[in-house]
Amino acid sequence: MALPTFPLETTTPAQAALRDEVRAFLAEALSDLPARERARSWTGFDAGFSRNLGERGWLGMTLPKEYGGHDRSAVDRHIVVEELLAAGAPVAAHWIADRQSAPLILRHGTEEQRRTILPRIAAGTCFFGIGMSEANSGSDLASARTRAEKTADGYVLNGTKLWTTYAHKAHYMIVFCRTGQAESRYGGFSQVLVDMSLPGISVSPVLDIAGEHHFNEVSFDNVLLPPDALLGKEGDGWAQVMSELAFERSGPDRFLSSFVLVDELLRCHKRMPGAAETSDLGRMVARLMVLRQMSLSVAGRLARGEQPVLAAAIVKDLGALFEQDVPEIARRVLRENASDPEYAAVFRRILLAAPSFSLRGGTREILRGIIARGLGLR
Amino acid sequence: MDSSTYSMVLETSEKLFAGRGGGGFDPALWSAAEEAGFPLALLSEEHGGFGFSAREAFAPVRVAAACAVALPLGETLLANWVASQAGLGMLDGPVALAWSGVEAVPFGRHLRRVVCLSELDRGVGLSLLHPAAELWHPGTNHAGEERDVLIAIEPVAPQARVAMSPVALRAVMSTLRTVQMAGAIEAVADMCLRYCNEREQFGRPLGKFQAIQHQLAILATHSCAATVAADMAVAAFETLATQGEEVFIPTAAAAKLRAAEAATAAASIAHQVHGAIGFSEEYPLHLLTRRLWSWRDEDGSESQWAEYLANWAQTQPERGLWPALTACDLAKVA
């Protein structure tokens, strides 16, 4: 059978020291940030904080030194990311750039793109948006209609992307679009690097169910792109976007989104044990412990240069179930004791964010399709 | 990543156990397992074993479970490990650990000896028993594996002791069930995939229906989680001497609980996708699912280990759960 393997990772003394160093920094840096703000997880935006992380060498960690990176392993990066998320640090500004845009540019970008952009990502001063979904292309990404028409001077980009997190603060978007005639369903696509300051781009907010603004609709109206805006090869867009999604799916952001609520729950529950509640709490802890090791194992495989697509899909599916269960477990455990105002605010934030956990980065149904394909069923 | 010893052990156990499951205790198969050195694999060479790593030593247990072979293999492995910790020397198998009191003893009537455990103020007391056949009150678990109760035993003073907390030893015993569940769940997933690729309804294989594909995908996620859980517990067992009980107990507790949850989900999906044939005695699915339903409760049910973990999570110092979780990470051994 084709089940993926999850070899256990072990931690070196240097990695343990790195974890301690990040933790000590965060204890200091976040001491004034209330839990309700930390509960935003990786949608909390603070450009100053991102720059501070860059100065400490905790962004662009896996990038080569010549591009401003730090030549660290994917496991080292995983440790830093875990600490940031567990603490509820406001990481949204650099999140997309550090997680998926930088590795994409490193792999497919031109030398010029690498030299000009990657050092700024590692410094925590250059932010990215994801240009994949459209109004009529959600899970069915291959139906995307945004098009970059080749001209003598480069490309002309037309179309509209949707659900673009922090497009209103991003310096660049990597836009998945049509560049040619599709000879097959997945053919004729490319990715273009779009400077968000170019004329013809309009960004309008789309509020989420909590009334918060992080999503946007981004329209491109005859945006003139230089020829070097092409990222990777023309026509290779589909393969590139799939490898980009593998980075998007594999990290601890796929099971730690509601960790601040776990912490708050334990803080408020501490002094009132009872059999049914303890069972819920214990199961939650057990699932989290196993998920951490699964996710760490995926990081280890990435560090060895593998592309653990199936393993990443499995971690994301289990991770989203866990994240979404946390508020439900909290309801059962705490019952009437939800009067603590900080707890109540954290709970509401997580409750209202939870539906997105099994949508973003590939819906539960898409992931299960990927797993089924890995099992040889499709 | 895998040592050559590990591959060799795996290959030998697969050769030995494949196609031998489904029946009761088989003395000939037990002798063959003994000849292969499996029951003593955790003992150092000076104690008459092979000095295998825990991962290597538990591999035959996982394979035997996947093959639904009814042997006290892991029981003998652990009884010998505990006996050697206490300086009791090598014990000829089959032999099992049993807490004094009322608990059913795995494969009781087939055992040459029982290592009876009692909780002491500091550590666990051990006494070797040689119960006569008529002292066993026969019983079975849901899978028909012998779980016999020892009756009319006079309390005996411990002959030896191990400097280990009773809950740590319970966690060691639970690790055997975790490993067995991981092996059986993977075998269940394998059986389901083969069946869904072969069985046709409405003119196509079941595995071509999206509803079935998603059920099998869920089964795969649970199988992976159970395997990682078992690997975590075994690795923490391996480093018990260096990382201590503080790391091992919560890790083993979480592993047992998670594998048990996976067992419940796996058995449910497996029976659903198999339809009526999977519910029949002639089809071998129940050999695995009935074992899963038993093992998830043996050596600490989900509720019991959940209570332990909840208490563990709630009694962490001011800095909360997170530092306690990362403190359980496996340290690289130099």
Indicate if A109 and A159 belong to the same structural domain.
no
Shortest distance between the Cα of B316 and any Cα of chain A, in A, equals 10
Q: Is residue A195 part of a domain?
A: yes
Distance of CA B5 to the CA centre of its chain: 21
Q: Which of B1, B217, B331 sits opposite A7 (nearest CB)?
A: B1
Q: Which of A1, A10, A290 sits opposite B189 (nearest CB)?
A: A1
Q: Is residue A224 part of a domain?
A: yes
Which residue does chain B place closest to A270, by CA atoms? B314
Query: Is B261 an 8 Å CB contact of chain A?
Result: yes
Return the number of CB contacts < 8 Å for A and B.
173
Q: Let me know: does B325 contact B230? Beta carbons within 8 Å.
A: no
Residues 44-73 of B with CB under 8 A from A: none
Indicate if A191 and A203 belong to the same structural domain.
yes
Q: Let me know: does B239 contact B333? Beta carbons within 8 Å.
A: yes
Q: Which of A273, A285, A314 sits opposite B254 (nearest CB)?
A: A285
Which tens digit of pLDDT belongs to each residue from A16-27? 999 999 999 999
Indicate if A64 and A189 belong to the same structural domain.
no
Residue after which a domain boundary falls, among A111, A127, A143: A127
* Cα separation, B77 vs B321, whole angstroms: 34
Q: Let me know: does B130 contact B92? Beta carbons within 8 Å.
A: no
* Cα separation, A374 vs B144, whole angstroms: 35
User: And the tokens for A126?
Assistant: 């250059």
Task: Report the alpha-carbon angle A163-A168-A174, nearest 5.
Answer: 65
Q: Is residue A1 part of a domain?
A: no
Q: Is residue A5 part of a domain?
A: no
Indicate if A281 and A364 belong to the same structural domain.
yes
- Check residue A275 and give its pLDDT: 66
Handedness of CA B248, B254, B258, B259 (dihedral sign): positive
| Cα–Cα distance list, B21 to B64, B69, B157 (Å) | 8, 4, 39
Q: Let me know: does A131 contact A166? Beta carbons within 8 Å.
A: no
Task: Report the alpha-carbon angle B79-B82-B83, nearest 5.
Answer: 80
Indicate if A67 and A105 belong to the same structural domain.
yes
| CB pair distance less than 8 Å for B328 and A289 | yes
Ordered per-residue pLDDT tens for chain B, 334 residues: 457 899 999 999 999 999 999 999 999 999 999 999 999 999 988 888 888 999 999 999 999 999 999 999 999 999 999 999 999 989 988 999 999 887 799 999 999 999 999 999 889 999 999 888 888 999 999 999 999 998 866 667 889 999 999 999 999 999 999 999 999 999 999 999 999 999 999 999 999 999 999 999 999 999 999 999 999 999 999 989 888 899 999 999 999 999 999 999 999 999 999 999 999 999 999 999 999 999 999 999 999 999 999 999 988 877 789 999 999 999 887 5
Q: Is residue A184 part of a domain?
A: yes
* Cα separation, B294 vs B309, whole angstroms: 22
Question: In which domain, by residue range, is A298 found?
Answer: 241-374
Indicate if A79 and A199 belong to the same structural domain.
no
CATH code where residue A189 lies? 2.40.110.10
Which tens digit of pLDDT belongs to each residue from A246-298? 778 878 989 999 999 999 998 887 655 566 788 899 999 999 999 999 999 99
Q: What average pLDDT score do residues A142-166 get? A: 96
Residue after which a domain boundary falls, among A188, A213, A240: A240
* Cα separation, A238 vs B253, whole angstroms: 43
Ordered domains of chain B (ranges, CATH): 4-162 (no CATH), 166-327 (1.20.140.10)
Residue after which a domain boundary falls, among A177, A207, A240: A240
CATH code where residue A51 lies? 1.10.540.10
Q: Is residue A356 part of a domain?
A: yes
Q: Is residue A8 part of a domain?
A: no
Q: Is residue A204 part of a domain?
A: yes
Element (H, E) at A284: helix A275-303
Cβ-based contacts of A294 with chain B (< 8 Å) = 224-225, 228
Indicate if A154 and A118 belong to the same structural domain.
no
Query: Which three-class secondary structure state does DSSP give residue A57?
Result: coil
- Check residue A274 and give its pLDDT: 61
* Cα separation, B189 vs B179, whole angstroms: 16
User: And the tokens for A16?
Assistant: 């343990």
